[in-house]
Structure 1
């Protein structure tokens, strides 16, 4: 009971399970703490915190914000942010608007390919309308394609249409830089961590971001092997920064867990105290 999974997603973005369910699974996995880090929204945190109070699991308020740097999509995790900070909430709305514009572009591209998908079908698959506090993304488009019978699984939807380089892929509209988002998170009282740096296939970026304001790196991730985990941990330590970790749990679709199960990657709970200490309001 001294471990924490600092990267999970819920139905507030592209996860399968409600925030309270993630907390329950953390309890069942023997974890002391879990972070809720939905994409560009904090809508799931209140429910998770209430569940955490009931079952004795600490819930770390977090968010995962999408950015772009020299043509590479970079995700930044923010921990112990003030989820009621009006400036942060306004900024997250702008982020979700970017996602909505991209979703419309993907649907239009699929229509050009002869697949008459509509945004209404995507909204139904997501269980929400665009413009709400929760996000809609490519996994919901994939689910809509499954429901329409175009593909058998969401993985097939990505493999055939939605992954980068596939015919239905659309680059997102211009996004802000990770350096700017480090500032957003700090201004909202939080600590900024570069998510899954090994997935960007450019290790030099990780060091650059540490030098340019990131508080640390997500060294431990379900898609990092032991060598990558050691490299990013040592890189963070070299610069006096934090090495965090989490499963990046999204839930299971058609029996396949996306990234990893809750508790698949964890850190000692002592990391939480350090995240709070380094936060702008800690």
Structure 2
């Protein structure tokens, strides 16, 4: 059986590898398809699509949109989006501006806590790898904290400072998950709720299904087997597709974050089923 990993990140957002590397690793893992789903950007898609031709693997153009519901970060994946749609690109640029403001707010809180960290420190190692349209996120701030010796690992950076409820966590206003679903549909894509087990807000699934959600990422590297079974059943209950993703972000300090490409996989025919249920540009 052929398989797909439908959730991976690259240097275009907070991954550590170029898009072509993700595609190569997917081919080496024996996958038939891989999705590139960077945060609030489609900057890595062209390189990935070219690498797909080189390595003989299908690359699904995707994105992961950051939203907020009831004070909780909620991520919505979009597959088969039109990455040339001017309105969609403008909307993503607005989301990146919010992300940039959040980064500055986090750095300010770190400074209030007595940590000598600046945005220049965060961007120091990114100047040669980032290009226009790429995003900077919390893992990059975590990298700066590790480099400056305030923490020993990315996990400690999140636990102490960056995760929800941690000392420097901030959550500025963002669009709603419903808006993200609508934007993805309007860009010709298929919206899927990412890693719902991390939110504890199952009521979102029927609410989002009403506005066009087509799938749920039941199989994810941070889900327990019980959660995977639970969300697979919820998806079936609401007539939604079931997807799987490693949420691969590359390696930091020799540790893979979250899991290697292919660690979570689903039958590759899901790629065609997502394509069939994508929205239409308006």
TM-score (norm 1): 0.95
Tell me which moved more, 255-264 or 92-101. 255-264
In structure 2, the CA distance between the partners of 1:212 and 1:60, relative to structure 1 (3 Å rule), is same
The aligned runs of 1:204-219 (5 Å cut-off) are 204-219=203-218
Tell me the CA shift for residue 170 of structure 1.
1.8
In structure 2, the CA distance between the partners of 1:182 and 1:115, relative to structure 1 (3 Å rule), is same
The aligned runs of 1:1-282 (5 Å cut-off) are 2-127=2-127, 132-171=132-171, 173-281=172-280
Inter-partner Cα distance in structure 2 for 1:278 and 1:257: 32
Inter-partner Cα distance in structure 1 for 2:72 and 2:114: 29
Inter-partner Cα distance in structure 2 for 1:122 and 1:111: 13
Give unmatched runs, 5+ long, in structure 1. none
In structure 2, the CA distance between the partners of 1:164 and 1:239, relative to structure 1 (3 Å rule), is closer
Inter-partner Cα distance in structure 1 for 2:269 and 2:112: 52
In structure 2, the CA distance between the partners of 1:128 and 1:170, relative to structure 1 (3 Å rule), is farther
Give unmatched runs, 5+ long, in structure 2. none
Preserved contact between residue 210 and residue 236 of structure 1 (Cα < 8 Å): no
Tell me the CA shift for residue 128 of structure 1.
6.4
Cα RMSD of the aligned pairs, angstroms, is: 1.7
TM-score (norm 2): 0.95
Inter-partner Cα distance in structure 2 for 1:265 and 1:129: 28
In structure 2, the CA distance between the partners of 1:129 and 1:113, relative to structure 1 (3 Å rule), is farther
- Report Cα offsets for 1:143-170 as digits up to 9, x if no partner: 1112222222222222222222222222
Tell me which moved more, 102-111 or 157-166. 157-166
Tell me which moved more, 218-227 or 80-89. 218-227
SS in 2 for 1:259: coil
